[in-house]
Structure 1
Amino acid sequence: MNEFKRYAIYHAPAEPGLAEAGAQWLGWDAERGCETAPPALEGLPRPLSEITAVPRKYGFHATIKAPFRLFEERSLAELEEALEALSDDLAPVRLEAMEVATLGDFLALRPVGDLAALRAMAGSVVERLDPLRAPLSEAEIAKRKPESLSLRQRDLLTHFGYPYVFEQFEMHMTLSGPLPAEERARLAPIAEAFFAPHLPRPYVIGDLCLFGEAADGRFHLIHRYALTG
């Protein structure tokens, strides 16, 4: 029996400064498996605990392969073995930088510059690990609101369990739940000031992180796999 309900492949910063800043911002440290005290920030449009309520349970991360259930006959050990082999084939990804930006109705850290290598790496992860993924249930499909997706996104949802992969992939590290435009505008400079000291230039993704969703819905970092290809 697998310990976790679902698994995901994320990028989670390994550098302590950024990792700790993200955990404090969201209120959940996925590596230590504990809640964190919020930072003292002035000028917030509402309490940070409310702003981050939606993304908190996932931990500070960027999705590479979205949360998925394993086939019943497949095990965590098989997933770990496959991810280790994949990481041996993939090279680190070098990004120009990360910056605070709007994505839809929420704020996130997003990459700057050429994203070709990032999308190629993420696409390889999605494709090569997909044979271990159990098909989505009807409820899981409905949760993605397929009626709001493009034809291409619905096709990706059907075949890979997630609509935002390959050319649809938009790397982001979520910093808030949905917010009105005026609240996003007030929050953005606060987030920029908070994260700026911890954002290196260039920004290098040097490993892949296996996360697991516990029974309470919180995600935990299981292991890091260095990209050594």
Structure 2
Amino acid sequence: MAPRYALYAAPAPDSPLWRFGSSVIGYDAAAATDTAFPASPPCNAGDWMALTEEPRRYGFHGTLKAPFALAGGEDEAGLIEAVMLFAERRRAFSVPRLDVSLLKAFVALTPSERSAELEGLAADCVRHFDAFRAPLSEADMARRLKAPLTERQKAHLDAFGYPYVFEDFRFHMTLTGALPEDRRETIRDGLAGLYAPVAAPLAVDALCLFKQADRAGRFTILARFPFEG
């Protein structure tokens, strides 16, 4: 199958936050290598590998434009150039605080307050790069429609290949897959304890282009473009 690409916000690969997120999910998407889990709860649980399988596939990130295959007539070099030019015109900003939150069945880092700058960046990415996106396959569309979506989210899915954009966008940096109900709060609290020593404002100062060579593989960072506006 064709490779997929995604536009993500991700900390610098030498930052404490990147090392924290990558260690929790067991994968460093910048180095394209597995990492050791923290040797303390909840990450030392016998089933932690299984509980983090989903985020490990994507790498530690916050989605700005969800994964997509390239449209006919587009190529990787053209996408790289477009992302570079886009980033050159953006101005860096920060999200003051991230919290370890329970989002339904999984745990993620989320902004403590909504950020107009972050939501604006995501909306611009969705629109600006949609010309590079191939239409969803029937299988991908069917998978998305299994989730309970509002009529607006279904319209977003049809138009942009992803339901959670614009008014429905909620930035999050996933740390686990779906968790058993009776362990969710314990795992959230444990991850909050691990996160506390590295907690700091999130610098949104670059746009990361991730690539998945095929559906069986993991996403890796293809390029990281600093904001220069």
| TM score, norm. by length of structure 2 | 0.93
SS in 2 for 1:127: helix
Q: CA deviation at 1:146?
A: 5.5
Give the partner amino acid of 1:73.
Answer: G
What are the ranges of 5 or more consecutive residues in structure 2 without an aligned counterpart? none
Contact 2:109 2:175 in 1 (8 A): yes
- Tell me if 1:10 matches 2:8: yes
What are the ranges of 5 or more consecutive residues in structure 1 without an aligned counterpart? none
Give the partner amino acid of 1:48.
Answer: W
The total of aligned residue pairs comes to 226
Contact 2:42 2:191 in 1 (8 A): no
Equivalent position of 1:77 in the other structure: 77
Runs of 4+ off more than 4 Å: 43-46
Contact 1:6 1:69 in 2 (8 A): yes
| TM score, norm. by length of structure 1 | 0.93
Spell out the pairing of 1:1-229 with structure 2 (5 A cutoff).
5-14=3-12, 15-42=14-41, 47-145=47-145, 148-200=148-200, 202-215=201-214, 216-229=216-229
Q: Distance in 1 between matches of 2:42 and 2:228?
A: 43
CA deviations 1:39-79 (Å, max 9, x no partner) are: 10135665321221121111111111000000132111110
Q: CA deviation at 1:196?
A: 1.6
Q: CA deviation at 1:143?
A: 1.1
Q: CA deviation at 1:32?
A: 0.4
Q: Distance in 2 between matches of 1:114 and 1:136?
A: 29
Give the partner amino acid of 1:158.
Answer: D
CA deviations 1:10-47 (Å, max 9, x no partner) are: 11111521111211111111000111121101356653
Contact 2:70 2:133 in 1 (8 A): yes
Q: Distance in 2 between matches of 1:30 and 1:43?
A: 22
Identity %: 38
Q: Distance in 1 between matches of 2:147 and 2:83?
A: 33
Q: Distance in 2 between matches of 1:173 and 1:13?
A: 11
Q: Distance in 1 between matches of 2:209 and 2:61?
A: 11
Contact 1:25 1:48 in 2 (8 A): no
